[in-house]
Structure 1
Amino acid sequence: PALTRRQRELLYMLTQGYNNQKIAWEMDLSIKTVENHLTALYRAIGAESRLEANNYAGKHPEVLLIPEKERQGQTDSHGESLDVLVLDDNPRYRAQLAKLLAKTWPQASVHEADDCQQAVRLAEQVKPFLAFIDVVLKEEDGIQCARRIKAASPATLMVLISAYPDREFRRIGLNAGAVAFLDKKDIDAATVRQVVEDALAR
């Protein structure tokens, strides 16, 4: 079966004898969320217990993914310092997101902007790998701004964020070239890590 990056990491942690509490701590998730992920993993590989999952891992070592924290000395795209742009006119939220990014992705250089003009200028200068863009800015349309950032730095992957998630916003945003659309209240360390990993896997 095709396993997600997270499921492959989970399987690796099981082979290392991690209990649910340690997995939760390592992955910045709640124990309840870990239990849900494990249930989905067991279903995906046809296992009914931790022992059966371990047996599966023993037969298919190629599916295991060593978590980034344990991949010391290995060079891959995570190891590079990559630039991330955060555009949000709320300074407190902007700082909060920048802090989450630094925590989940220590190699990231985070560049903050509070308006579209500043964001476009930064995009031209640093050509960010990833940009988090608030859809609703004070005087501006975040989706229109995303188009301008994309024009300034075509390789930048854009993630739109909004405190007012709306189906139409999502549709327009994805049509504008965004790779994801996130509800601000759902953004935590685990979500940021997933977005970054998905972007790196592209």
Structure 2
Amino acid sequence: MRDSEPLTGEPLALDLVNTRPATAGGRTDLLDTPERLAAWLALEEARMGPETGGDVPTEADLAAIHAVRAHTERAVHALLRGQEPPAAALRGLTDAQRVAPAVRELTWDGGRVTPTVRRTGPLGIRLAALLAEAAADLLTDPAIGRLRECEADDCVMLFLPANPRRRWCSAARCGNRARVARYYQRHKQAAGREQ
């Protein structure tokens, strides 16, 4: 897995926060263009439901997504430090949900009534509402107390470990780097002792 690829598999709100990984030059934004947002939405398609509606993201959609990501990031990092999340971040997430509330649209499929959750408005507003709702779910979940930051020195990714011994955001990303570094260090020390 390359660092330029989004890390997925955590709760949706953490996957969103994790679209700003650390790089040699600081942090990079994996959702900086409509095309990259579309690629991330494709990765998250199973969890996004009908919110994308087949729409193609535009530049205008990015601002709403970035705002929800920033609010989520501030709230999550405060909780990670054992602090109260900023009121502005919580208010921003609430406001994003309010702009495009979820409505259960009822239809008849020929045998029964079926609900489909729908939101109205531009794609960015619908996605922001869905992602803010995912953030609300994460922030109010008792599991948030297990939230961890990757232990790799150059990583800022967050995760909720199923196993309390988990140390890295991804075994394929940071776990492999740590194992390779330990291997190199052991062999370097062994070579130094032989001389």
Query: Which is higher, the Rg of structure 1 or of structure 2?
Result: 2
Same fold (TM over 0.5): no
Q: TM-score, normalised by structure 2?
A: 0.24
The answer to which structure, 1 or 2, has the higher relative contact order (CA under 8 A, 6+ apart) is 2
